[in-house]
A = this chain, B = another copy of it.
């Protein structure tokens, strides 16, 4: 596993304690972790008092935490009704993936000129790990490695806002994936190949447009694979840059 400097709102993987911080902070990371890991799956009812006594806190910090999660789109908070983990709707998955494809594409294109050969080597190492992972397939591990791969590329992304949007997308996606939406068989292998293609584009200093398009397609292809297998969605909205060809 490559050592990566994660952004502020990246997926929480170590549930252990790092530092106390404020209780509001703790509540935030704790609840977020459970949502992302799937302990609180979409539709789960988050009752303030229950969570509060579960964590040993009062309700006020928990409220704050939930408000923050609401702003990130992970939960829905209705007045006098309560909070529920959002994203039962299949269209949520679609929108999240579509948005993610756009911001990841932009982030990759912005980062590409700043990626040095050492970083490319590290990214390639992660991708090889993913390739090895294909045989004994573990979705959780694969997803983690996938995020590692892209995190390496985004290491020197000049625009922190874009990066933040990527991280939010990843969190939402993790929340959705852990419950309803499953990996499409065979897609993982394609993904590894596309990663290699992407690295070569970056190495060859391809135009920003080319890289952006490739990165965007990389994510969009996963969505397409899902749409192709799951006909549960009534009328699939056009994934961007799709209908023209």
Q: Does A63 sit within 8 A of B, measured CB to CB?
A: yes
The residue among A99, A109, A164 with the most chain B CB atoms within 10 A of its own CB is: A99
Copies of this chain, whole number: 2
Contact for A244 among B63, B70, B209, B237, CB less than 8 A: B209
Q: Distance in Å from the Cβ of A123 to the closest Cβ of chain B?
A: 21
When distances are taken between beta carbons in the complex, the residues of chain B under 8 Å from A103 are: 102-103
Q: Does A145 sit within 8 A of B, measured CB to CB?
A: no
Q: Let me know if B79 and A240 touch, CB within 8 A.
A: no
Q: Does A160 sit within 8 A of B, measured CB to CB?
A: yes
Contact for A161 among B99, B159, B208, B212, CB less than 8 A: B99
A residues 172-208 touching B (CB-CB < 8 Å): 207-208
Q: Let me know if A209 and B98 touch, CB within 8 A.
A: no
Q: Does A113 sit within 8 A of B, measured CB to CB?
A: yes
Q: Distance in Å from the Cβ of A227 to the closest Cβ of chain B?
A: 14
Q: Let me know if A242 and B208 touch, CB within 8 A.
A: yes
What are 13 A-to-B residue pairs whose CB atoms are below 8 Å? Answer: A25-B79, A64-B67, A68-B70, A98-B162, A99-B159, A99-B162, A102-B162, A103-B103, A109-B241, A110-B240, A113-B238, A208-B243, A208-B244
